[in-house]
């Protein structure tokens, strides 16, 4: 039972606000020394060395760098302005534009915090100005901002590729259609809400329109085509098997710099600042990974994984009982802890059990990724909620944001259920 007590202790410390990486490290050292002594950690340097030499994980800082460069080149502003001109006259058009821009940002930057903040700063005031329903506006921004968790190139998918020991390119391909389905469902939901509640998202005529419709379309294409080209090059090279995700991430970084030059935003200061932010973000991810590695080592040694495996393998319903309970556990944990901790602590325990039950690892990894996406939306600790509240006008209350995201959480759960029950729809084996 030492492993179970260790897990509960770590979870309690996280809820009290202790830093994630140091919590896992400290708890593993305390319980490891208690169970075996310092000798248990003799192989820890070799584990850290293998993490640092993992070529799959090299893609994480490169994709983060690509996303930060594109963020600083004001990509979100250009896309939102262009989409606003194209869809503003449709009822709910600004919310639809926000979702479509969120999808493009997800496929080009993948930085959830940056996407939510950018759309919160630019899109939310415009929607409020035209009397959009606060809950619809905030829900659309938070939900579309988290699409970067499932639409490739996603840091979550790279991490899960390492945990499940599956090619990241296969995960990218498998996640593409579920991600697009989420976008379509969000748009249909917004259209339905605005159809039945006409004042929720009134149709508007965007101010500041210059020239005829063809001029506006040309301006929109100028904003949309360059990032779309980068997306096609990065993801297309992976899907076609011409490059590994690590190689494509390097191409994406160079492409982001070229786009910044194209938009006349490139400067040495921007590149240096982006590199520094990349180092900080990547250091956080790898610090958590090292702490989680120590935690998993002690948890396994003390037999915690055996107890969990025994419980999961003896559930009623065989593999369906395991899938149901594991998805519920990840969903509930997402209310309180971040996707990185879940990916490195919980998923490594579940992955071998899924393999034992004969569950397709790619399919199960996509289920986990879609479930982890909700961790950014679920109150009380959903990071997207905090990002948006930090930039929202005082008239937008926290309760407005919480209520606004609830329908989108239900939509995610619905698509997750469809993917679970009817995997053939998305190209997975039944």
- The pTM of the full predicted model, rounded to 2 decimals, is 0.83
Domain that holds residue 31: 2-426
Upper half-sphere CA count for residue 306 (Cβ side, 13 Å): 7
Cβ distance 124 to 396 under 8 Å?
yes
* pLDDT tens sequence across 276-300: 988 988 888 788 888 888 888 888 7
Domain count of the chain?
1
Calpha distance 412→375 (Å, rounded) = 11
CA distance 184 to 143: 12
Asked if 309 and 352 touch (Cβ cutoff 8 Å), the reply is: yes
Q: One digit per residue, pLDDT tens: the chain, 430 residues?
A: 777 888 888 888 877 777 777 888 888 888 888 877 787 788 788 888 887 887 778 888 888 888 788 778 877 677 777 777 777 678 888 888 888 888 887 777 666 666 787 778 778 888 888 888 899 999 999 898 888 888 888 888 888 988 898 988 899 999 999 999 999 999 999 999 998 888 888 877 655 554 566 676 777 777 778 888 888 888 888 888 888 888 888 888 898 899 888 888 888 998 999 899 889 888 887 888 888 888 888 887 877 777 777 878 777 878 899 999 999 888 888 877 777 778 888 888 899 899 988 899 999 999 999 998 887 788 766 778 877 887 788 888 888 888 999 999 999 999 999 999 999 988 887 6
Q: What is the pLDDT of residues 19-58, one digit of tens each?
A: 777 888 888 888 888 877 787 788 788 888 887 887 778 8
Q: How far apart are the C-alpha atoms of 56 and 65, rounded to whole Å?
A: 16
């Amino acid at each position: 039972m030492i492993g179970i007590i260790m897990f509960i202790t770590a979870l309690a410390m996280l809820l009290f606000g202790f830093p994630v990486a140091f919590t896992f490290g400290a708890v593993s050292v305390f319980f490891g020394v208690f169970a075996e002594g310092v000798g248990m950690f003799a192989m820890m340097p070799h584990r850290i060395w293998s993490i640092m030499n993992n070529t799959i994980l090299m893609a994480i800082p490169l994709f983060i760098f690509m996303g930060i460069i594109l963020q600083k080149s004001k990509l979100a502003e250009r896309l939102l302005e262009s989409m606003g001109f194209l869809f503003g006259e449709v009822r709910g058009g600004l919310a639809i534009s926000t979702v479509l821009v969120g999808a493009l940002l997800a496929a080009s930057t993948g930085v959830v915090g940056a996407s939510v903040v950018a759309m919160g700063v630019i899109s939310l005031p415009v929607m409020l100005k035209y009397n959009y329903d606060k809950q619809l506006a905030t829900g659309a921004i938070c939900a579309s901002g988290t699409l970067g968790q499932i639409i490739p190139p996603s840091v979550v998918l790279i991490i899960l590729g390492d945990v499940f020991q599956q090619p990241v390119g296969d995960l990218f391909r498998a996640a593409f259609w579920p991600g697009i389905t989420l976008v379509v469902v969000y748009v249909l939901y917004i259209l339905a809400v605005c159809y039945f509640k006409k004042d929720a998202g009134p149709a508007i005529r965007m101010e500041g329109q210059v020239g005829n419709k063809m001029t506006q379309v040309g301006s929109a294409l100028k904003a949309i085509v360059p990032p779309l080209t980068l997306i096609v090059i990065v993801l297309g090279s992976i899907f076609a098997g011409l490059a590994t995700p690590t190689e494509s991430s390097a191409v994406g970084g160079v492409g982001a710099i070229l786009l910044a030059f194209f938009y006349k935003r490139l400067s040495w200061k921007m590149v240096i600042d982006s590199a520094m932010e990349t180092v900080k973000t990547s250091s956080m991810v790898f610090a958590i990974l090292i702490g989680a590695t120590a935690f998993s080592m002690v948890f396994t040694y003390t037999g915690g994984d055996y107890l969990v495996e025994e419980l999961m393998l003896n559930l009623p319903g065989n593999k369906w009982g395991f899938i149901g309970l594991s998805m519920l556990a990840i969903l509930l944990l997402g209310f309180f802890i971040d996707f990185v901790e879940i990916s490195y602590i919980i998923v490594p325990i579940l992955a071998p059990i899924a393999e034992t039950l004969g569950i397709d690892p790619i399919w199960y990894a996509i289920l986990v990724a879609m479930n982890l996406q909700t961790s950014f939306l679920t109150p009380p600790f959903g990071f997207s909620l905090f990002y948006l509240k930090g930039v929202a006008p005082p008239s937008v209350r926290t309760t407005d944001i919480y209520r606004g995201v609830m329908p989108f959480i239900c939509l995610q759960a619905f698509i997750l259920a469809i993917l679970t029950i009817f995997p053939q729809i998305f190209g997975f084996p039944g």
